[in-house]
Amino acid sequence: MSEAVIEKVDNDGVVRLTINRPKALNALNSEVLVALESHLTELEAQTNLRAVLITGAGEKAFVAGADITEMRDKTPEEARAFASQALRTIKRLETLPVPVVALVNGFCLGGGCELALACDWAVASSNAVFGQPEVLLGVIPGFGGTQRLPRRVGPAMAIDLITTGRKIDAVEALRIGLVNRVMPQAELENYVEELTKQLKGNGPQSVRGAKQAVHDGMDQDLDSALALETALFAVCFAGEEQKEGMSAFVEKRKANF
C-alpha cells in the first residue's frame, strides 16, 4: 500500500475504503478523520455509487480505537473539537445514501467500534474483538458509542459493555446483534466479491430508497413511517428502473440496471 492514510478502490461504484495505519493498529487520529471526511464528501457527489465497504489495513485490526498518544494531553476544549470532528465524519459515513458495510478484521475497539456502528451492517472475521473500553482510560465513548450502541444491541447490553469496558469476541458480537455475519478471515475477501456482485445486480435507486425508508422511518412514529414507505414505493414507478426490473422478471431474463 501507499502512504495514504485512507486507501480508496472503486469497483464500478462499489467503493472500498481502507484505513491505512497498520503499525498503529489503524487508530483514528486527526489526519485519518480529515482524510476520511474528504473521501466521504467526494462519495456523496458520486452519481454511480452503489455501496461503500470500510476496513482496516493488515490482519490485526479494523480500528483499535482513537489515537491515545494524540488525545493524552488535550484540554477539554481540544477534546471537544476532536470529538466533534469524529462525530461529523462518522455521521457523514452513516448518512451516505447507499449501503455501508464494515469489514471487521481483528481489533474493533473504542472509536473503531463506533465507526462500525455507523455502518448499515458489519461482517467480522472470527478473530475480531469488540469493545468500548474508554472507562479504563478515564473517559467515556466520545464518537457516538453511548448513543449508537444501545440502538444496536439494546440499552442493558450497551451499558454493560460501556461501563465495564469488557471486550467480546466475534461469536458474542453476533449473538447480541452487533455484527451480521462471522467468518474465517481468509473468507472475508470471498464475501466481498460475492457482495459486490450482488449489489451491482440490484436496482441502484431502489436500494437508495430502501435505505432512506429504514433510516428516516426509525425516527418517526409508525404511521408516519409507513406513509414515508408508501411515498418512496410510489416514486419507484416514476423511473425506468422499475420498468426494467419488472419487465426482466416477466421475460425471464436478468435485469440490466
Residues carrying an active site annotation: 114, 134
Q: How many CB atoms lie within 10 A of CB 186?
A: 10
Contact criterion met (CB below 8 Å) for 16 and 55: yes
Q: Are 143 and 90 in contact (CB under 8 A)?
A: yes
Beta strand 167-169 pairing with 129-131: antiparallel
Among residues 136, 143, 117, 138, the alpha carbon closest in space to that of 62 is found at 117
| DSSP secondary structure string for all residues of 64-102 | --B-HHHHTT--HHHHHHHHHHHHHHHHHHHT-SS-EEE
Antiparallel, parallel or unpaired: β 61-63 and 51-56: unpaired
State how far the Cα of 63 lies from the Cα of 56, in Å rounded to an integer.
6
Q: Are 223 and 239 in contact (CB under 8 A)?
A: no
Q: 162 Cβ partners below 8 Å, 6+ apart?
A: 132, 134, 135, 140, 141, 145, 146, 149
- Report the candidate in 228, 178, 211, 173 with the shortest Cα–Cα distance to residue 94: 211
Q: 9: burial class by Cβ within 10 Å (0-12, 13-18, 19+)?
A: exposed
Which of helix, strand or coil describes residue 205?
A: helix
